[in-house]
Amino acid sequence: MMKKVQVIDKETIKPSSPTPPHLRIFNLSLIDQYIVTAYIPFILFYTPNTEIDHNELNNARDRYKKNYLDRLKASLSETLTLYYQLAGRFSENIEIICDDGGVDVLNARVSSPLSEVLNRAEPETLSELIPCDYYQHRDNALVVVQFNVFECGGIAVGVCFSHKAGDALSLSMFLTTWASISRGSSPVLRPELHGVSTQFPPSLDVPLAMHVERRTERLVSKRFVFNAFMISSLKSKAPLPYQAIRSRVLPVIVLLWKTLMAADKQKHGHQRPSYVGIGVNLRTKLEHPISRVSFGNLVLIAPALATDENDDLVEQLAMGVGTIDSEYARRLLSKDGYSKMIDMFGEYEEQFSRGEIDRYGMTSLCRFPFYEVDFGWGKPVWLNFPGFEEKNLIVLMDTQCGKGVEAWVTLEEDAMVLFQSKLTSMLQLSSNL
């Protein structure tokens, strides 16, 4: 178990150059407006890159603080000149006031070695390494950072990134730029900041920003790791048309969905229809090209529905993802685009609230270059998104080698017990076939 995390000090980092007056108002996009006010919590873990004598641990931590934290803060200041809106503050649900308010950086010490965290990745301990939680929106700040130094010299960089400011790919872009500046590498990734709000201008018809309500039920998050051998085995047992699919994520999604349906069937005594919302990157779906480095929220939820665990789940997923196309984007831009968005999911949400169907959210962050984020002391040995306290949420990420998939699953406590039991049975059945 990780020991006490102690915050030593805090500093507000502002852009190295003031934001020009003509850029002081940054419009949100229509999609940004739909997003709830919550943080994306994220941690990057780095092992020490020098041999440290145990008698010099305190001196070593001070040295890491001076050399690495100073570099982190200086490069963040430069990065905020490129992502100047992240140093601002939200105004209602339509714009960001780019007043150079800055980003808070907390400096913390951890009274345990990094190995204890890597060996026992419990969500309740990982949450101490980030400066805020999922529900909190600290002083309306868009980004908050916590720099954690372990007693062995290992480092964890915890970031809370406002989901209303951008999606996970936007977070990846921000970290990539920041890391490049920190280690003095070039070229530096420069984001396209206004492409999203130009194509999807904000609307006064969208209600005020919605805040995520803290859950009262007991939720449990668990990590499940699928290595390359397990994924290959899952593919080999799939129907012939799907065995040639190169994706390592799809077999995992299908397995998890099938397992969730089986667990729900056991819990309720009958099979309920199961609805899954899959995050789809709109950057590749638009009729008019948009830069791949467009910053903001460009992810929409694709609906997939199955009535039985023996349904062709691959086909259902493909049909759902297929609904997110350039025509859908065009409707979204229409005068009543907001109501169309609500209507798309309204029926499913009403059925879920009545207990007639089961509902899950799945998002894949695989192939995002998070494992390439090197601030100058090496690439991360592990990363995760802790503290997503959202019921029935599954987040998929790469393993460090890039050949496996990690799944972080959040369920109610009793549902998690059933899910783990069913998953064990299905994996055993797959390996024995």
Q: How far apart are CA 92 and CA 74, in angstroms?
A: 31
Edge-to-edge strands, sheet with 299-306: 219-226, 405-412, 393-398, 358-364, 274-281, 299-306
Residue 249 reports pLDDT greater than 60: yes
199 and 288 Cβ atoms separated by less than 8 Å: yes
Q: How far apart are CA 302 and CA 31, in angstroms?
A: 14
The confidence score (pLDDT) of residue 378 equals 93
Q: How far apart are CA 410 and CA 260, in angstroms?
A: 12
* % of the chain at pLDDT higher than 70: 85
- pTM value is 0.91
Residue 91, CA distances (Å) to 99, 209, 295 in order: 11, 10, 19
Domains and CATH numbers, the chain: 5-199 (3.30.559.10), 219-432 (3.30.559.10)
Residues assigned a catalytic role: 163, 374
Residue 240 reports pLDDT greater than 60: no
The confidence score (pLDDT) of residue 12 equals 96
Place of tokens 């949100």: 28
381 and 45 Cβ atoms separated by less than 8 Å: yes
If residue 92 lies in a helix (H) or strand (E), which one and from where to where? none
The confidence score (pLDDT) of residue 398 equals 96
Residue 433 reports pLDDT greater than 60: no
Confidence of residue 2 (pLDDT cuts 50, 70, 90): low
Q: How far apart are CA 357 and CA 132, in angstroms?
A: 33
The confidence score (pLDDT) of residue 54 equals 47
CA-closest candidate to residue 144, choices 21, 11, 247: 11
Residue 56 reports pLDDT greater than 60: no
Confidence of residue 28 (pLDDT cuts 50, 70, 90): very high
The answer to whether the peptide bond before residue 123 is cis (omega within 30 degrees of 0) is no
21 and 150 Cβ atoms separated by less than 8 Å: no
Per residue in 298-314, pLDDT tens?
A: 988 888 999 987 888 98
Long-range contacts of 413-420 (CB under 8 A, 24+ apart): 413/218, 413/219, 413/220, 414/267, 415/263, 415/264, 415/267, 416/220, 416/222, 418/263, 418/266, 418/267, 419/259, 419/260, 419/263, 420/222
The confidence score (pLDDT) of residue 68 equals 87
Mean pLDDT, residues 407-430: 90
Confidence of residue 86 (pLDDT cuts 50, 70, 90): very high
Radius of gyration of the chain from its Cα atoms, rounded to whole angstroms: 22
Q: Which residues contact 28 (CB under 8 A, 6 or more apart)?
A: 93, 94, 95, 96, 164, 197, 202
The confidence score (pLDDT) of residue 30 equals 87
Confidence of residue 403 (pLDDT cuts 50, 70, 90): very high
Q: Which residues contact 204 (CB under 8 A, 6 or more apart)?
A: 94
Q: What backbone phi and psi angles, to 5 degrees, belong to 127?
A: -65, -20
Q: Which residues contact 272 (CB under 8 A, 6 or more apart)?
A: 264, 265, 356, 357, 358
The confidence score (pLDDT) of residue 38 equals 86
DSSP 319-366: HHHHTSSHHHHHHHTSTTHHHHHHHHHHHHHHHHHTTSSEEEEEEE-T
416 and 260 Cβ atoms separated by less than 8 Å: no
Ranges 99-108, 156-165, 324-333, 359-368: which has the least confidence: 324-333
Confidence of residue 367 (pLDDT cuts 50, 70, 90): very high
Confidence of residue 209 (pLDDT cuts 50, 70, 90): low
Q: How far apart are CA 313 and CA 429, in angstroms?
A: 18
SS3 304: strand
More confident residue, 429 or 180: 180
Strand-pairing partners, residue 305, are 275
The confidence score (pLDDT) of residue 387 equals 66
Confidence of residue 52 (pLDDT cuts 50, 70, 90): very low
Mean pLDDT, residues 129-148: 84
Residue 278 reports pLDDT greater than 60: yes
325 and 288 Cβ atoms separated by less than 8 Å: no
Mean pLDDT, residues 189-203: 90
Ranges 33-42, 268-277, 360-369, 397-406: which has the least confidence: 33-42
Q: Give the ranges where 83-122 is alpha helix by DSSP (H).
A: 114-119
CA-closest candidate to residue 165, choices 61, 31, 292, 43: 31
More confident residue, 3 or 92: 92
Ranges 85-89, 195-199, 271-275: which has the least confidence: 195-199
Place of tokens 């001196």: 59
Average pLDDT of the chain? 86
Q: How far apart are CA 40 and CA 186, in angstroms?
A: 27
CA-closest candidate to residue 166, choices 260, 278, 298, 26: 298
The confidence score (pLDDT) of residue 430 equals 65
Q: How far apart are CA 258 and CA 316, in angstroms?
A: 12
Mean pLDDT, residues 185-202: 91
Residue 335 reports pLDDT greater than 70: no
